[in-house]
Amino acid sequence: MASLEKLALKTETAGEKPRPRWLRLRYLPTIAGAALPSGAILWAHGENYADNASVYLTQPPTVSRALTNPAVTDVFAIIMIIGAALLYVAAWQIIRAMIRLLLDWQADRTSWLLLVFSSMCEVPAILGMVVLSQYTGDAWSALHNFGSYMLFFGHSFAISASGWMIYRLTKQPAGSHDKRITALSGLPRHAVWTAVFSFLFGVAYFDNRVWPDAAPFAQHLVLAAIEMIVLISFLSYLGRFWRLLEASRS
């Protein structure tokens, strides 16, 4: 316990060396990797609304339906490839920083298992972004749905596991003195809300029994709205790790 307190005090009091401005590029994959796909989702809906406004007044479409618009498909696919590449780099940076953090705090086996599990889930989740964006329309519905499931379940499990792992770190006796742990302090709550909305989306999507037969508009509206919340929540969760990367450089 004394060694952990000394580590925290050292982390808190260590002076920061001046860092060149170019080092800020290290945070680009994390920030841009989250921002680009999020912006593309909003843009896809905006572009689709401009072309098919009447659809949004009768059966508000999910992102998958918006991607059937030829004006959206190709651009969205390119952005997803770029975003996925950035997110893989970001994931590698985040995992390295988390490994150092767990080593410094002599984390137990559970924390290490949670890190391994969340890392393994994130790989297919990011790949799912590419798959669902490359295969759109009724002709590719099976592959598109498979990519969607990769993204949805991969991110849901990864974020839940990493949120639990980070929560355990924040409960360290002297954890509040470590800038890296402080940088992560808001993520467990983010993970909980992401899990809640993911569950609601899953129920709304897979269980038609929750919808009365006479409420197709409400069903489409709720699905489209919760999907937007869940997708941006997935991406913004990853984007918030830039604070860990910054604190790790201190």
179-217 as b/e, with b when 16 or more CB fall inside 10 Å?
A: bbbbbbeebbebbeebbebbeebeebbeeeeeeeeeeee
Domain that holds residue 196: 27-248
In angstroms, rounded to a whole number, what is the distance separating the alpha carbons of residues 160 and 171? 17
Report yes or no on 162 lying in a domain: yes
Q: Which amino acid is at 140?
A: W
Q: Binning pLDDT at 50, 70 and 90, where does residue 193 land?
A: very high
Report yes or no on 14 lying in a domain: no
- Specify the DSSP class assigned to residue 59: S
Number of domains into which the chain is organized: 1
Report yes or no on 222 lying in a domain: yes
Residue 198 has pLDDT above 80, yes or no: yes
Report yes or no on 10 lying in a domain: no
In angstroms, rounded to a whole number, what is the distance separating the alpha carbons of residues 118 and 85? 18
Residue 207 has pLDDT above 70, yes or no: no
Least confident of 14-28, 119-133, 154-168, 198-212: 14-28
In angstroms, rounded to a whole number, what is the distance separating the alpha carbons of residues 205 and 222? 10
Q: How far is CA 99 from CA 1, 39, 96, 129, in A?
A: 20, 30, 5, 26
The residue written with tokens 């290490």 in the block is 112
Angle between helices 216-239 and 70-104 (to 10 degrees): 40
Residue 239 CB neighbours (<10 A): 20
Q: Binning pLDDT at 50, 70 and 90, where does residue 129 land?
A: very high
Report yes or no on 19 lying in a domain: no
Name the residue with higher pLDDT: 160 or 20: 160
Q: Structure tokens of 41?
A: 């989702």
What is the predicted pLDDT for the residue at 174? 64
Q: For the residues 33-46, what does the mean pLDDT come to?
A: 93
Cβ proximity of 211 and 52 under 8 Å: no
Please give the share of the chain, as a percent, with pLDDT higher than 90.
51
Report yes or no on 21 lying in a domain: no
Report yes or no on 194 lying in a domain: yes
pTM of the model: 0.83
242, HSE (Cβ side, Cα atoms, 13 Å): 19
In angstroms, rounded to a whole number, what is the distance separating the alpha carbons of residues 181 and 167? 10
Report yes or no on 115 lying in a domain: yes
